[in-house]
């Protein structure tokens, strides 16, 4: 990103334009075509979400007859009531549901618990480890770090089998503890992410504290962590969303009604489909409920999330 | 990097006299080799997780692959017999073929679309809003993406088949036909990942210095040849990274298959990870499942190695 002193004019325009588009400025039709194509990509990305909402607000019986109508077919909140268990079995069956008991409040709570606990644990303990990898000098440091990073290459299914056996032998199948344990102490990505930040953090404040006789743990908790609030927030967001979307491990370990998370519950809801036509509006309502927390986080922290993409990709 | 004056225990012994002596010599206090005790304290929880849930399971997984083990009782050592069975297992070869098909369709579609979107963004729109909209699908769980498209692609009343029929074409049984089941899974994954991949490539595009383009334009290079001869070669490290990540991720496809087709119709979508899951958890054949997982692991390692080696992903042409 270094510019030569002979081109001051470029320097001023750089934030707004880049060379190729500036060169093609006169050909406006090119920009128009580019916008149209980009518009198609954006539409393909977000219109399905509208379709989910529209279906969730429809009534099963009217969906077939109005399969292409852009507005909800026979507007109705029954699907959401069904998902949250506010309908009796008879009502549910009458509206095209399976009538099987399904309680998304429980799943929602489990997902929230599972994601929050693992995020808190992984971010905190990984930050501690990252500090040791970035700031402390000790024998074997780089070797241990590479070993930690190497685990990123091991496919999750490979460790999932032995981990399942371990959790089973500990008697923790179908418990929240069994579900969170493998994620609780670290994730390789979290360590990598925080280490990168600590490496670039200014040492001055730490040094001042050190000269005043503060010990490492005090420096870490009172100076380093507060200063790292922004990257920690980003990491926590990314970790939380990843955990919220996790399917395979909870599918293995949390199979009872009490421990099922939303993703697993959705799969069960789908497979309970009644004979004949599936309960599409119920299924889409459930899908929307499962997506809502992530959508809310995205609405609040969108910029942070978007800007974090590319962090581990380039640079 | 290292300007260290060796100090046995800088953190713990930093007392009064050092205070005055060390002022004005930044960083010296941090550069000893004697932080081991402190480091152990900081690293202990992560180390516990690493050993218990990554290191030991990796070794145990390899061990189990040489045993016969059905959860009840103890694993029984049977040497390489699991691997011999795999070599003759038609379902394994089917799974490998189906997974490869998925990976290839997925990579081709996703990379080309993402590259196209990234170039469009680079040209006309860099706003957070546009990037956010494109990123939305990626934030959804695989299960959600799968169910959303399971509905949109429904044979009877799905909106996509309505559109196809409106165009005067015959309806497509996206999930129900052996021919379409795998391409459909790849399409779902492409939908979920294309915006994310586009953002990664876009970040790579932003990193190409403008003077490279200026030089090309002074030399009279046309837009198309600038793309082929400058943009694409300079993007290589990013593209290789994207390819490695996508290929490795695609080989482990599971969630979308598990909630939509569950391996069917017939064996059309019985991908490797789903097959491992079935052998280990439905048939309680943990030894065989572990051996299959080892094979998957080896395939992924090989793929990553080949890609890094032959596409020189760790070197940039900019240096």
Nearest to B273 among A144, A157, A212 (CB): A157
Whether B43 maps to a domain, the answer reads: no
Can you tell me the distance from the alpha carbon of A66 to that of A70, in angstroms, rounded to the nearest whole number?
A: 9
Whether B181 maps to a domain, the answer reads: yes
Whether B10 maps to a domain, the answer reads: no
Can you tell me which residue has the tokens 């002979």? Answer: A6
Whether A286 maps to a domain, the answer reads: no
Whether A15 maps to a domain, the answer reads: no
Number of other CB atoms surrounding residue B317 within 10 Å = 12
Task: Indicate the pLDDT class of residue B224, thresholds 50, 70 and 90.
Answer: confident
3-state secondary structure B229-242: HHHHHHHHHHHHHH
| pLDDT in the model for residue A14 | 46
Helix (H, G, I), strand (E, B) or coil at B136: helix
Task: Indicate the pLDDT class of residue A3, thresholds 50, 70 and 90.
Answer: very low
The more confident residue out of A6 and A62 is A62
B164 Cβ partners below 8 Å, 6+ apart?
B170, B171, B172
A235 and A121 co-located in one domain: yes
Average pLDDT on B246-258 reads 91
A108 and A243 co-located in one domain: yes
Q: Render pLDDT for A147-184 as a digit per residue (tens, 0 to 9).
A: 888 888 788 888 999 999 999 999 999 999 999 999 99
A257 Cβ partners below 8 Å, 6+ apart?
A103, A106
Average pLDDT, chain A: 83
| pLDDT in the model for residue A27 | 60
Whether A304 maps to a domain, the answer reads: no
A52 and A136 co-located in one domain: no
* DSSP codes, B247-301: HHHHHT--HHHHHTTTT-STTTT--HHHHHHIIIIIS--HHHHHHHHHHHHHHHH
Taking 90 as the threshold, does the pLDDT of residue B315 lie above it? no
| pLDDT in the model for residue A76 | 80
Average pLDDT on B127-140 reads 90
A197 and A245 co-located in one domain: yes
Whether A196 maps to a domain, the answer reads: yes
The verdict on a CB contact (< 8 Å) between A14 and B210 is yes
A224 Cβ partners below 8 Å, 6+ apart?
A131, A135, A198, A201, A206
A133 and A200 co-located in one domain: yes
The verdict on a CB contact (< 8 Å) between A48 and B150 is no
Nearest to A184 among B49, B71, B191 (CB): B49
Can you tell me the distance from the alpha carbon of A174 to that of A172, in angstroms, rounded to the nearest whole number?
A: 6
Lowest mean pLDDT across A66-80, A186-200, B3-17? B3-17
Q: Render pLDDT for B70-117 as a digit per residue (tens, 0 to 9).
A: 877 888 898 889 999 999 999 999 999 999 999 999 999 999 999 999
A125 and A254 co-located in one domain: yes
Within A245-312, residue ranges assigned H as helices are: 248-253, 262-271, 280-308
- CATH classification of the domain holding A267: 1.10.3720.10
Tell me if chain A has a CB within 8 Å of the CB of B318: no
Can you tell me the distance from the alpha carbon of A171 to that of A258, in angstroms, rounded to the nearest whole number?
A: 16
Average pLDDT on A54-74 reads 80
A36 and A63 co-located in one domain: yes
Terminal Cα-to-Cα distance of chain B (whole angstroms): 21
| pLDDT in the model for residue A101 | 66
Average pLDDT on B271-299 reads 93
Q: Render pLDDT for A76-91 as a digit per residue (tens, 0 to 9).
A: 887 888 888 777 777 7
Lowest mean pLDDT across A50-54, A232-236, B251-255, B262-266? B262-266
A89 and A108 co-located in one domain: no
Taking 80 as the threshold, does the pLDDT of residue A279 lie above it? yes
Task: Indicate the pLDDT class of residue A75, thresholds 50, 70 and 90.
Answer: confident
| pLDDT in the model for residue A1 | 40
- CATH classification of the domain holding B239: 1.10.3720.10
Average pLDDT on B131-135 reads 90
A130 and A259 co-located in one domain: yes
Whether A300 maps to a domain, the answer reads: no
Average pLDDT on B26-46 reads 72
The verdict on a CB contact (< 8 Å) between B147 and A159 is no
The most confident of A17-31, A55-69, A192-206, B181-195, by mean pLDDT:
B181-195
Whether B42 maps to a domain, the answer reads: no
| pLDDT in the model for residue B7 | 37
Whether A263 maps to a domain, the answer reads: yes
Number of other CB atoms surrounding residue A53 within 10 Å = 15
Whether B56 maps to a domain, the answer reads: no
Average pLDDT on B278-288 reads 92
A40 and A154 co-located in one domain: no
Taking 60 as the threshold, does the pLDDT of residue B175 lie above it? yes
- In degrees to the nearest 10, what's the CA dihedral of B46, B48, B51, B52? -120
Structural domain boundaries enclosing B124: 90-310
Whether B162 maps to a domain, the answer reads: yes
Taking 80 as the threshold, does the pLDDT of residue A99 lie above it? no
The most confident of A27-41, A118-132, A296-310, by mean pLDDT:
A118-132
- Composition of chain A by helix, strand, coil, percent to 5: 70, 0, 30
Find the angle CA(A246)-CA(A249)-CA(A252) to the nearest 5 degrees: 135
Residues 199-228 of B with CB under 8 A from A: 199-200, 202-204, 207, 209-211, 213-214, 217, 223, 226
**Kind and range of the H or E run holding A157:** helix A156-169
Nearest chain A residue to B280 by CA distance is A161
Whether B3 maps to a domain, the answer reads: no
Taking 80 as the threshold, does the pLDDT of residue A121 lie above it? yes
Is-contact A280 B151, C-beta < 8 A? yes
A111 and A85 co-located in one domain: no
Whether A277 maps to a domain, the answer reads: no
Q: Render pLDDT for B8-25 as a digit per residue (tens, 0 to 9).
A: 333 333 333 433 444 444
Number of domains in chain A: 2
Can you tell me the distance from the alpha carbon of A115 to that of A12, in angstroms, rounded to the nearest whole number?
A: 45
Average pLDDT on A64-71 reads 77
Find the angle CA(A124)-CA(A147)-CA(B199) to the nearest 5 degrees: 65
Percent pLDDT > 90 in chain B is: 46
Structural domain boundaries enclosing A191: 104-271
Whether A255 maps to a domain, the answer reads: yes
A122 and A251 co-located in one domain: yes
The verdict on a CB contact (< 8 Å) between B50 and A151 is yes
Using alpha carbons, list the distances in angstroms from residue A307 to A39, A315, B140, B240.
21, 13, 18, 21
Number of domains in chain B: 1
Whether B73 maps to a domain, the answer reads: no
């Amino acid at each position: 990103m270094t510019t030569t002193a002979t081109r001051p004019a470029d320097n001023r325009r750089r934030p707004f334009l880049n060379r190729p588009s500036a060169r093609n400025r006169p050909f406006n039709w090119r920009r128009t075509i580019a916008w149209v194509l980009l518009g198609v990509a954006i539409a393909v990305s977000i219109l399905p979400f509208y379709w989910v909402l529209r279906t969730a607000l429809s009534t099963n019986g009217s969906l077939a007859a109005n399969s292409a109508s852009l507005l909800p077919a026979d507007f109705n909140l029954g699907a959401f009531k069904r998902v949250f268990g506010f309908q009796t079995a008879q009502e549910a069956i009458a509206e095209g549901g399976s009538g099987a008991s399904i309680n998304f409040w429980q799943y929602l709570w489990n997902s929230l618990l599972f994601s929050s606990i693992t995020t808190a644990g992984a971010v905190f303990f990984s930050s501690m480890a990252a500090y040791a990898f970035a700031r402390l000098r000790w024998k074997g440091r780089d070797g241990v770090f590479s070993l930690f990073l190497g685990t990123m290459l091991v496919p999750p299914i490979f460790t999932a089998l032995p981990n399942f056996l371990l959790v089973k032998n500990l008697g923790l199948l179908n418990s929240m503890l069994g579900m969170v344990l493998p994620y609780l102490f670290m994730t390789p990505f979290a360590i990598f992410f925080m280490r990168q930040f600590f490496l670039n953090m200014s040492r001055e404040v730490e040094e001042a504290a050190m000269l005043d006789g503060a010990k490492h743990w005090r420096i870490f908790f009172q100076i380093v962590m507060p200063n790292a609030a922004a990257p920690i927030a980003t990491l926590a967001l990314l970790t939380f969303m990843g955990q919220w979307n996790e399917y395979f491990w909870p599918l293995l370990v949390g199979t009872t009604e009490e421990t099922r998370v939303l993703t697993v519950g959705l799969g069960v809801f789908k497979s309970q489909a009644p004979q004949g036509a599936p309960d599409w509006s119920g299924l889409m309502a459930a899908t929307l409920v499962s997506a809502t927390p992530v959508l809310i986080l995205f609405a609040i922290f969108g910029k942070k999330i978007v800007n974090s993409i590319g962090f581990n990709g380039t640079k | 990097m290292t300007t260290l004056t060796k100090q046995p225990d800088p953190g713990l012994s930093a007392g009064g006299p050092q205070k005055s002596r060390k002022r004005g010599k930044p960083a010296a206090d941090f550069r000893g080799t004697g932080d081991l005790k402190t480091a152990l304290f900081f690293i202990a929880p992560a180390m516990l997780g690493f050993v218990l849930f990554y290191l030991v399971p990796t070794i145990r997984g390899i061990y189990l692959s040489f045993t016969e083990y059905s959860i009840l009782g103890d694993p029984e050592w049977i040497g390489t017999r699991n691997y011999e069975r795999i070599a003759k297992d038609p379902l394994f070869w089917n799974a490998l073929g189906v997974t490869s098909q998925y990976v290839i369709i997925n990579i081709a579609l996703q990379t080309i679309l993402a590259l196209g979107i990234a170039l469009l963004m680079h040209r006309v729109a860099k706003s957070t809003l546009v990037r956010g909209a494109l990123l939305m699908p990626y934030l959804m769980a695989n299960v959600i993406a799968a169910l959303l498209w399971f509905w949109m692609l429904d044979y009877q009343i799905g909106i996509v088949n309505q559109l196809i029929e409106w165009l005067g074409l015959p309806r497509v049984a996206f999930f129900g036909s052996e021919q379409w089941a795998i391409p459909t899974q790849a399409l779902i994954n492409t939908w979920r990942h294309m915006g994310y991949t586009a953002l990664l490539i876009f970040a790579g595009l932003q990193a190409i210095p403008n003077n490279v383009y200026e030089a090309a334009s002074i030399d009279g290079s046309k837009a198309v040849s600038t793309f082929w001869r400058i943009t694409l070669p300079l993007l290589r490290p990013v593209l290789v990274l994207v390819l490695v990540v996508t290929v490795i991720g695609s080989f482990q496809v599971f969630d979308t298959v598990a909630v939509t087709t569950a391996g069917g119709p017939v064996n059309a979508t019985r991908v490797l990870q789903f097959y491992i899951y079935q052998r280990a958890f439905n048939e309680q054949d943990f030894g065989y499942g572990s051996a299959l997982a080892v094979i998957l692991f080896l395939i992924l390692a090989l793929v990553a190695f080949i890609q890094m080696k032959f596409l020189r992903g760790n070197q940039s042409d900019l240096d």
